[in-house]
């Protein structure tokens, strides 16, 4: 099963938008962001659209078209980003009901639900402690 890279792409895009801002570029096109991520611009546009819906980026059309951060990088946490771009839960139960005749099948769902909820809360708390500005501060730029 492939890992979800939506958070990684979105965090990369936001960090690049912030670095460009610091260097005097107020906006970047999706093609410019895609070149940094080294992926197709369609994938980046999908991510930027999700970020725009969440208010994390602004979009300008026409002359000077492109994307910019919607608020200061220090105020955008990775939790904000994850919530904007990751519609699926972090961990999920199997879609079908297990065999309720089996002692494990009868009791595993509530146990795993509790464990998955705890893990998701820890994951979210970790993401909430890191901002886009923090990412840039940790990188040699």
H or E element in which residue 69 lies: strand 66-69
Q: What is the 3-state secondary structure (H, E, C) of 20-59?
A: HHHCCCCCECHHHHHHHHCCCHHHHHHHHHHHHHCCCEEE
pLDDT digits (tens, 9 = 90+) for 83-125: 999 878 888 898 899 999 999 999 999 999 999 999 999 999 9
Best-predicted range by mean pLDDT (1-15, 72-86, 92-106): 72-86
Tokens encoding 52: 């725009």
Q: Looking at the predicted structure, is the pLDDT value of residue 3 above 70?
A: no
CA–CA dist 21, 38 (Å, integer): 20
* CATH code, 6-138: 1.10.10.10
Task: Say if CB 20 and CB 57 are below 8 A apart.
Answer: no
- pLDDT value for 80: 97
């Amino acid at each position: 099963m492939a890992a979800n890279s939506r958070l990684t792409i979105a965090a990369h895009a936001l960090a690049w938008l912030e670095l460009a801002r610091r260097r005097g570029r107020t906006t970047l096109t999706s093609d410019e962001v895609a070149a940094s991520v080294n992926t197709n611009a369609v994938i980046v546009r999908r991510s930027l659209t999700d970020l725009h819906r969440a208010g994390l980026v602004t979009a300008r059309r026409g002359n000077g078209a492109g994307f910019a951060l919607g608020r200061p990088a220090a105020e955008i946490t990775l939790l904000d980003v994850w919530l904007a771009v990751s519609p699926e839960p972090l961990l999920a139960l199997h879609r079908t009901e297990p065999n309720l005749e089996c002692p494990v099948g009868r009791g595993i769902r509530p146990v795993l639900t509790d464990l998955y909820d705890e893990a998701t809360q820890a994951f979210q708390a970790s993401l909430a402690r890191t901002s886009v500005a923090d990412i840039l501060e940790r990188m040699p730029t």
